[in-house]
Structure 1
């Protein structure tokens, strides 16, 4: 989702611009490799890192979610060395077409539902004094921002296709539980205790929308579609070598 979102399209695929570079590289060896050394952090990763730092410093993120985020880079690196090492110094074949407009729309819907609207909801809660609403929504935004950051890290020829798929699957699975907790908190609210009537229903609507979207993303797209295709490309490339 990388919203997002991230270099894998918010749980999905590389951004269009990265895919186009990858395609041009395959067509013309003189074109620069999109996975060649580049600046350490992209603008998208810097934004995600800023959100991570702000939420972590605010105390709105539980120790369990913070530990999950700290643990994930080490585990991703472990898998990239032991289970799914990169087999080539050149880009892997694309999993999806480079001009898939429907996929691009899906990515931006995920970014809107998963990041932009919840962040706006949290900022409004600061002014309305809805501490419970902020606390319930914060873990999802924190983890999704962490996912965007990690997707940027794995968007490199040093990481294989299965590793790039693992990051959104790993984080999406974790975020389902935080969204369920968010929805429970919103349903348990009483109008006069937690801000305006409008905010109450917006919070419930956002929590439901995120639960539906990311549940479909995990069980309807990542696991049955994206993961099998990525593994097929990875092991097919291995057989060719």
Structure 2
């Protein structure tokens, strides 16, 4: 949905045989359908939450968003989604999605792990909130995309709401690495490279996800979701009306 989710979904999508085998081995149910990437994201979320690197606002944000989406699915945009894919991931969109996965997920994760290895607690603390929010976003999108309970507009709001909040976390990240962190005069080449890697990565995340929301999610993804939703509702209403007219003719 958001570009990042599309890329991870295509990268980890199992074939029908492996899916059936996994479901049989686990006895069915929710855990039988959870992919490896989702288990890894759950692990990241639990670790980040347990070691106190995520602010309290970011910790409660997923719960607030989930509650809000459930209310929207019942009150504002009810109905079941007949089409799981809102925008087809082909061509340049696939490349764009892979870029989002690398910039938003893999490189920040490498940066956080590198910060642990180097003992750079400031780097870990500054990059973790954005990575935590993205992990929760991908997990939420993957779970929702596997359920027909949520309509297309509700699904489209997931990446939009998370991206808006994550942009503020990225701005704090940039402030930490650019203004609150400095190099010593006798810094080694590794320290200089690490310093500029952190700055470049934070700026790249800000640029990518700003483009993502203002050039893709708002002008293309959200209108497509509403178009799909109202088309499905119109077809459903038309089918019911046609069935009613057919039944009415039988009584004439």
TM range (shorter): 0.7 to 0.9
Tell me, in whole angstroms, the C-alpha distance in 2 between the residues paired with 1:153 and 1:80.
15
Which one of the candidate residues 216, 229, 233 is aligned to 2:211? 216
Is 2:115–2:124's contact at 8 Å kept on the other side of the alignment? yes
Is 1:3–1:148's contact at 8 Å kept on the other side of the alignment? no
TM-score (norm 1): 0.82
Across the aligned residues of Structure 1 and Structure 2, the Cα RMSD in angstroms comes to 2.5
Residue aligning to 1:81 = 74
Tell me, in whole angstroms, the C-alpha distance in 2 between the residues paired with 1:70 and 1:61.
14
Deviations 1:173-205 (A, max 9, x none): 100000000001111111139981111100000
Tell me, in whole angstroms, the C-alpha distance in 2 between the residues paired with 1:76 and 1:9.
23
Residue aligning to 2:168 = 177
Residue aligning to 1:96 = 87
1:145-160 correspondence to structure 2 within 5 Å: 145-155=135-145, 156-160=147-151
Distance 1:208 1:159, change over 3 A: same
Higher helix share: 2
SS of residue in 1 equivalent to 2:184: helix
Larger RCO (CA within 8 A; separation ≥ 6) = 1
Is 1:176–1:215's contact at 8 Å kept on the other side of the alignment? yes
Bigger radius of gyration among the two: 2
Is 2:80–2:148's contact at 8 Å kept on the other side of the alignment? no
Per the TM alignment, residue 48 of structure 1 is displaced from its structure 2 partner at its CA by 1.1
Which one of the candidate residues 46, 56, 68 is aligned to 1:63? 56
Residue aligning to 2:22 = none
Is 1:147–1:168's contact at 8 Å kept on the other side of the alignment? yes
Is 1:2–1:145's contact at 8 Å kept on the other side of the alignment? no
Which one of the candidate residues 124, 129, 147 is aligned to 1:139? 129
Tell me, in whole angstroms, the C-alpha distance in 1 between the residues paired with 2:155 and 2:204.
25
Which one of the candidate residues 162, 166, 169 is aligned to 2:157? 166
Per the TM alignment, residue 71 of structure 1 is displaced from its structure 2 partner at its CA by 2.0
Distance 1:3 1:111, change over 3 A: farther
Tell me, in whole angstroms, the C-alpha distance in 2 between the residues paired with 1:141 and 1:179.
9
Tell me, in whole angstroms, the C-alpha distance in 1 between the residues paired with 2:161 and 2:205.
17
1:53 and 2:43 matched: no
Is 2:7–2:101's contact at 8 Å kept on the other side of the alignment? no
SS of residue in 2 equivalent to 1:196: helix
Gaps of 5+ in 1: 22-36
Is 2:126–2:172's contact at 8 Å kept on the other side of the alignment? yes
Tell me, in whole angstroms, the C-alpha distance in 2 between the residues paired with 1:147 and 1:93.
17
Q: Which runs of 4+ in 1 moved over 6 A?
A: none
Which one of the candidate residues 114, 120, 124 is aligned to 2:114? 124
Tell me, in whole angstroms, the C-alpha distance in 2 between the residues paired with 1:211 and 1:186.
13
Distance 1:93 1:57, change over 3 A: closer
